Amino acid sequence: MIDVLRHQLNPEARILPKEEVDELLNRLKCSKTDLPKIKLEDPVSVALKAKQGDVIEFTRKSETAGLSKYYRVVI
């Protein structure tokens, strides 16, 4: 079985704690419904044991940009 969280082609992922979610939403001036979505059945959501409404932070490594972060809300 492949561990999707450790696979070299997948970006690093973690569930944000509530305090960080609040800071993120304030900084972006948006609500959770404005964030891109990820399904509860997605392999990353399953591996992280995410619940509906959780916000997952992905950190992508790039040769040109260094590190870039993006966020998805679990539906």
Q: What is the CATH number of domain 12-74?
A: 3.90.940.20
What's residue 5's pLDDT? 83
pTM equals: 0.90
Average pLDDT along the chain: 93
Q: What are phi and psi of 8, to 5 degrees?
A: -65, -25
DSSP 37: E
Q: What are phi and psi of 13, to 5 degrees?
A: -140, 145
Domain ranges for the chain: 12-74
Any alpha helices (H) in the chain, and if so which ranges? 18-28, 43-48
Encode pLDDT of 3-37 as tens digits: 888 887 789 999 999 999 999 999 999 999 999 99
Task: Calculate what percentage of the chain has a pLDDT beyond 70.
Answer: 99
| 32-48: average pLDDT | 96
| 51-57: average pLDDT | 97
